[in-house]
A and B are shown apart, each in its own frame.
Chain A
């Protein structure tokens, strides 16, 4: 495996570089349209099968999308196999439903406002054709069930109106959604019947004049999202991650200093498994930035820190996992230290590859791929936007240096992707010998800005810096494109089985396939 600035030019290894095409955009910005703060998407996640995608926004809403291409066709797998399509099909998604997951709150004890912004969404095991997901803002995690419900109407079919089957009631038909349905048995609901004891005797054949409400189920369905559980009051700091365990019964939530373990069915207690809080807060040197369970081993989880390290912990070892099983960090190159070294080393996101052997991490400047069997250093490092290195000072001043970019891996683990500024995102091949490194822009024409990065030996870095410096004054980057620190592509997700990337530019969701 090879790290560093790869060139896009010629494919060297077996996996061909992917040719990315625009698939779809949701919530596209019309030119000149002002972006509403609440519409900015802040979380994105595919479910395990890839049939659904969820996004969360700063307004506390969760929007669900569903895959349409496989479903609409109505063909069985065998039929699909028989029909030998050339290579026309790619996953397509459509809007499914949305619901308000979180509302702004106020913590009266601490006099703190709690934003409704969704920080993370995680899908849970589906059961019973309903969809389940966890969503969290800074403090409270919620467990949602989204289910298609057939619209039911309560009505009474009366065979003989004169005889009034409905226990003497005038025929009434009412939607169960209306505030006060007519009772079928002709009584007002406020009459209490608690005096009914079991001692009343009924004739052996029953009372023929009584009848049951008739429910008419229509073919119409609507999606209903119901909050099943609220896991609250367990985090003093802001929750940055939630992650499901492969055992299907537990999940973790991580804030800056602690990681808690929950049982999905128990919302009033959680177990603290990692606690970085020092006795004296002045001794604090690092915070947790991201945490994730291993995809298959229920006992392993990884968390990253602001110091640039990833710790793998084994829940089997002890109940409190303050001591790690493995530590992954890159030793610093001597002499390269600067004021920004520590800031840009901070890891903003980690993801396990599907097989659980590799962990992908994103720090400010690079993507790193780690083999969990090798803690001496990353197996590959990809420079995301090396041309920004000379501008770290500006980025520090406008706080951009603290932006938290997410990263993702393809389902086959052969490629990785992450975002950058100017709504750009990059896809790298991480298979051995791969030199794939593509830059795309989150627009309808993703390759618009893509310039063949001239292959350059790393020795010539100085000259490039100079180019960048010049470009800076003009407000353009090394490729001659203008740089915009306000348009940053922080969130993106790779479809679990297909080459499809969903990424977020402010309030728009773009999808690309290859």
Chain B
């Protein structure tokens, strides 16, 4: 029936499936929109495909989202920038849909297209579109319009510029909080395109409105605006207009706004510059560190190091350190945890003496915290302190902390500390490790929880990498291989896993002399699960060892396993044999 030439056939399918019942097929077609467009040619794309897509605005969100994304890169397919304006109508309708992610994508694509459009086209097509959206009946249109001003404004003639500024200021006072939020979010971008005189007058008055908004959700977005506007203004204007706002925000009634200040503090400091930071923002920051609301303290505590980096060490010791001490005994574990995750970074800022004198007691108390996350966070950043004061001062307290974490009854905690063992090993050195941590690493291989055993096997490998095969031969391999005789098959399996991980690190000699015999031995295990794991391990060893060893030892063992009564054992053994055949063929 089909009279289509074979090469056209797939294109025809794609086009048909733009309207298929199945959303997956529609999605697939939309994703290949550029192919369809190329098949139709530029002119028909402009005249048929784009209008067709404009009609297609009530499809499922996933399809609309994909469409919004594709249209953003569609300029080449409609005939270049001089025809870019044909892409605006379908995106305009997508700017009004109720699903936020579709609107956002449509705005993004519009910006992308607008940035390439010729100036006269912007004035003729883009700005009218923007004005339509900004005056839209539905708030969704007005929300979308806020994100387009920064594209339209630079190309607009003087009169239109005035109009656009007025429009934006209306959006900043819209009845709908959603619109005001969007206006607040996009203010920084828009402000960056506005000329300096208007910036100081018009934009600042809009900013003022937003900072006094009743809705917390609007005000907290204005906090971000502080940073963006601060960078645009002259330093003295910034200090005059932005700094008081930041200080006010840091004392806002709503904890969410204060939280934003705490979170954005570094950017805000950058915006106002170092001097005002020292004079005005230090007190504000100290207040945030002592905020009533734990969430605010969490955010503030997490920025301690970044903030101190802006200050000199003297100011940091004088103002911030007392707060840090308080926070280290905060009633909220999350505050302490946030502090623990950054406090080690303060060591390089404060220098050796201050660190030993002031920070060390805090480290030590956090290392003894009842909440494992706090201890883990300290341990994870050990390297930063090591550089400043060396590990010796800490190691006394470190070991009990590590041991306790290693034996924590929550397996996730144990898992976390295992992750840090290689780091600890490298920081603490071989000697310390041999004495204290080696036994722990072996103990984890016999953990009750699979994830821990799995991580422990990996850990063994990473240690071998860290300290080298010779060390591993002495301190790891014998201990690991010992455990192959464990009565429980799950533990024997862990050892096989560890062997397969260790082999590439240890090299072929040790693999042949030490590891391989153990694996071959395990092929006689009474548990089929062990046996098929042997087959898997052997398969992984094939590339490591010499061909002769494969022929002499591995293959006979696999052949034997391939005749095992158990079907799984036979399956994996056969697979391993096949891969060894391939290996041989390749090497020949």
B517 on the A face (CB < 8 A): no
Given contacts A185-B16, A213-B16, A247-B217, contact A130 B41 (CB under 8 A): no
Candidates A168, A193, A212, A249; contact of B10 at CB < 8 Å: A193
CB neighbours of A318 from chain B (8 A): 255, 292-295
CB neighbours of B139 from chain A (8 A): 125, 127
Q: Is the CB of A187 within 8 A of B12?
A: yes
Inter-chain CA distance A198–B15, complex, in Å, is 16
Least distance between A385 CB and chain B CB atoms (Å): 41
Tally A residues with Cβ within 8 Å of B: 61
Inter-chain CA distance A249–B256, complex, in Å, is 15
Inter-chain CA distance A176–B59, complex, in Å, is 12
Candidates A167, A184, A202, A298; contact of B216 at CB < 8 Å: A298
**Contact residues of A: prevailing secondary structure:** loop
Q: Is the CB of B254 within 8 A of A299?
A: yes
Candidates A176, A207, A212; contact of B41 at CB < 8 Å: A207
B192 on the A face (CB < 8 A): no
Q: Is the CB of B8 within 8 A of A213?
A: no
Q: Is the CB of B10 within 8 A of A176?
A: no
CB neighbours of A228 from chain B (8 A): 99
Least distance between B55 CB and chain A CB atoms (Å): 6
Given contacts A132-B98, A185-B13, A316-B254, contact A210 B8 (CB under 8 A): yes
Q: Which of B1-50 contact A (CB under 8 A)?
A: 1-4, 7-22, 25, 28, 32, 34-35, 38-45, 48-49
Given contacts A128-B138, A205-B41, A210-B39, contact A187 B2 (CB under 8 A): yes
B114 on the A face (CB < 8 A): no
Given contacts A183-B13, A195-B10, A247-B177, contact A316 B255 (CB under 8 A): yes
Inter-chain CA distance A489–B15, complex, in Å, is 57
Inter-chain CA distance A196–B9, complex, in Å, is 10
Q: Is the CB of B39 within 8 A of A185?
A: no
What are the interface flags for A304-335 relative to B under an 8 Å C-beta threshold, 1 for contact and 0 otherwise? 00000000000111110000000000000000
Task: Name the residue of chain B whose CB is nearest to the CB of A182.
Answer: B16
Least distance between B71 CB and chain A CB atoms (Å): 16
CB neighbours of B32 from chain A (8 A): 193, 196
Task: Name the residue of chain B whose CB is nearest to the CB of A188.
Answer: B13
CB neighbours of A200 from chain B (8 A): 7, 35
Q: Is the CB of A154 within 8 A of B19?
A: yes
Of B140, B255, B294, the most chain A CB neighbours within 10 A belong to B255
B510 on the A face (CB < 8 A): no
Q: Is the CB of B2 within 8 A of A127?
A: no
What are the interface flags for B284-299 relative to A under an 8 Å C-beta threshold, 1 for contact and 0 otherwise? 0000000011110000
Q: Is the CB of A247 within 8 A of B16?
A: no
CB neighbours of A194 from chain B (8 A): 28
Q: Is the CB of B294 within 8 A of A187?
A: no
A265 on the B face (CB < 8 A): yes
Q: Is the CB of B138 within 8 A of A248?
A: no
Task: Name the residue of chain B whose CB is nearest to the CB of A250.
Answer: B217
Q: Is the CB of A202 within 8 A of B254?
A: no
A206 on the B face (CB < 8 A): yes
CB neighbours of B217 from chain A (8 A): 247, 249, 298
Task: Name the residue of chain A whose CB is nearest to the CB of B11.
Answer: A210
Given contacts A212-B18, A316-B216, contact A170 B1 (CB under 8 A): yes
Inter-chain CA distance A185–B1, complex, in Å, is 11
What are the interface flags for A207-219 relative to B under an 8 Å C-beta threshold, 1 for contact and 0 otherwise? 1011111010100
Of A202, A204, A210, A298, the most chain B CB neighbours within 10 A belong to A210
Q: Is the CB of B35 within 8 A of A207?
A: no
Q: Is the CB of A213 within 8 A of B15?
A: yes
B449 on the A face (CB < 8 A): no
A466 on the B face (CB < 8 A): no
Of B22, B34, B216, the most chain A CB neighbours within 10 A belong to B216
Q: Which of A29-85 contact B (CB under 8 A)?
A: none
Q: Is the CB of B52 within 8 A of A186?
A: no
Of B42, B52, B215, the most chain A CB neighbours within 10 A belong to B215
Q: Is the CB of A149 within 8 A of B58?
A: yes
**Contact residues of B: prevailing secondary structure:** helix
Q: Is the CB of A319 within 8 A of B255?
A: yes
Q: Which of A279-297 contact B (CB under 8 A)?
A: 296-297
Q: Is the CB of A196 within 8 A of B35?
A: yes
Q: Which of A146-192 contact B (CB under 8 A)?
A: 147, 149, 154, 164, 167-170, 176, 179-181, 183-187, 189, 191
CB neighbours of A126 from chain B (8 A): 138
CB neighbours of B4 from chain A (8 A): 167-168, 185-187, 209
Inter-chain CA distance A189–B28, complex, in Å, is 12
Given contacts A189-B16, A209-B4, A213-B15, contact A202 B38 (CB under 8 A): yes
CB neighbours of A319 from chain B (8 A): 255, 293-295
CB neighbours of B48 from chain A (8 A): 211-212
Least distance between A327 CB and chain B CB atoms (Å): 20
B519 on the A face (CB < 8 A): no
Least distance between A222 CB and chain B CB atoms (Å): 12
Q: Which of A241-292 contact B (CB under 8 A)?
A: 246-249, 265
A129 on the B face (CB < 8 A): yes
Task: Name the residue of chain B whose CB is nearest to the CB of A201.
Answer: B38
Given contacts A183-B16, A206-B41, A247-B217, contact A128 B98 (CB under 8 A): yes
A145 on the B face (CB < 8 A): yes
CB neighbours of A154 from chain B (8 A): 19
Inter-chain CA distance A181–B22, complex, in Å, is 11
Of B96, B98, B256, B295, the most chain A CB neighbours within 10 A belong to B98
Inter-chain CA distance A193–B6, complex, in Å, is 12
CB neighbours of B15 from chain A (8 A): 167, 184-185, 210-213
Q: Is the CB of B20 within 8 A of A189?
A: yes
Of A128, A179, A180, the most chain B CB neighbours within 10 A belong to A128
Q: Which of B97-151 contact A (CB under 8 A)?
A: 97-100, 138-140
Inter-chain CA distance A128–B95, complex, in Å, is 10
Inter-chain CA distance A167–B40, complex, in Å, is 13
Task: Name the residue of chain A whose CB is nearest to the CB of B29.
Answer: A193
Q: Is the CB of B1 within 8 A of A145?
A: no
CB neighbours of B49 from chain A (8 A): 212
Inter-chain CA distance A180–B22, complex, in Å, is 10
Inter-chain CA distance A299–B138, complex, in Å, is 25
Inter-chain CA distance A206–B42, complex, in Å, is 7
Inter-chain CA distance A169–B2, complex, in Å, is 6
Of B13, B25, B214, the most chain A CB neighbours within 10 A belong to B13
B232 on the A face (CB < 8 A): no
Q: Is the CB of A193 within 8 A of B2?
A: no
B176 on the A face (CB < 8 A): yes
CB neighbours of A125 from chain B (8 A): 139, 176, 178
Task: Name the residue of chain A whose CB is nearest to the CB of B44.
Answer: A206
Q: Which of B52-68 contact A (CB under 8 A)?
A: 52, 55-56, 58
B409 on the A face (CB < 8 A): no
Least distance between B549 CB and chain A CB atoms (Å): 44
Inter-chain CA distance A319–B334, complex, in Å, is 13
CB neighbours of A195 from chain B (8 A): 10
Of B38, B56, B139, the most chain A CB neighbours within 10 A belong to B38
Task: Name the residue of chain A whose CB is nearest to the CB of B15.
Answer: A185
Inter-chain CA distance A296–B100, complex, in Å, is 23
CB neighbours of B96 from chain A (8 A): 128
Task: Name the residue of chain B whose CB is nearest to the CB of A196.
Answer: B10
Q: Is the CB of A206 within 8 A of B43?
A: yes
CB neighbours of A212 from chain B (8 A): 15, 18, 40, 48-49, 52
Candidates A127, A168, A316; contact of B1 at CB < 8 Å: A168
Least distance between A21 CB and chain B CB atoms (Å): 35
Q: Is the CB of A189 within 8 A of B12?
A: no
Q: Is the CB of A317 within 8 A of B255?
A: yes
Known: A196-B32, A209-B8, A212-B49. 8 other contacts (CB 8 A): A168-B4, A176-B19, A180-B21, A189-B22, A196-B10, A207-B40, A210-B39, A215-B19
User: What would be 22 A-B contacts, judged by CB atoms less than 8 Å apart?
Assistant: A167-B3, A167-B4, A167-B12, A167-B15, A184-B19, A185-B16, A187-B2, A196-B32, A203-B41, A207-B8, A207-B40, A210-B8, A212-B40, A213-B15, A215-B55, A215-B56, A248-B176, A248-B178, A317-B293, A318-B295, A319-B293, A319-B295
